[in-house]
Amino acid sequence: MSATPPAPAAAYVIGHIVIRDPDTWVAYRNQVPATLLPWQGEILVRGRRAVELSGRSPFTDTVVIRFPDTAAVEGWYHSPAYQALIPLREQAAEVVLVGYAM
């Protein structure tokens, strides 16, 4: 009897955002979902800061994206489709993206 290998752990990208150009941000944001599809990425949260409970954050917005694993995170970020959006993102906002494995 062979053991079933464990399923890959989900991975998440959390983005902390300060929007500088709202119109350009909307153009960028509207194009991101299509870049996620080949990597099975799913946007779980797109939100604006409502209240600071502890400490001070310079960021006003947050996004949380779930992927099946860290390989998918890296594949998405380095894909030509997403790389093509980075100049638009950099024009629109200050964005810190961090990947987390569960």
Q: Report the 10 Å Cβ neighbour count for 82.
A: 19
pLDDT of residue 26: 97
pLDDT of residue 7: 65
Alpha carbon separation from 49 to 40, 44, 91, 93, 96 (Å, rounded): 27, 15, 21, 15, 15
pLDDT of residue 37: 98
Average pLDDT over residues 31-59: 96
From the list 101, 12, 9, the residue with the least C-alpha distance to 65 is 12
Which is higher by pLDDT, 8 or 33? 33
Q: Where are the alpha helices (DSSP H) in the chain?
A: 22-36, 70-78, 80-83, 86-92
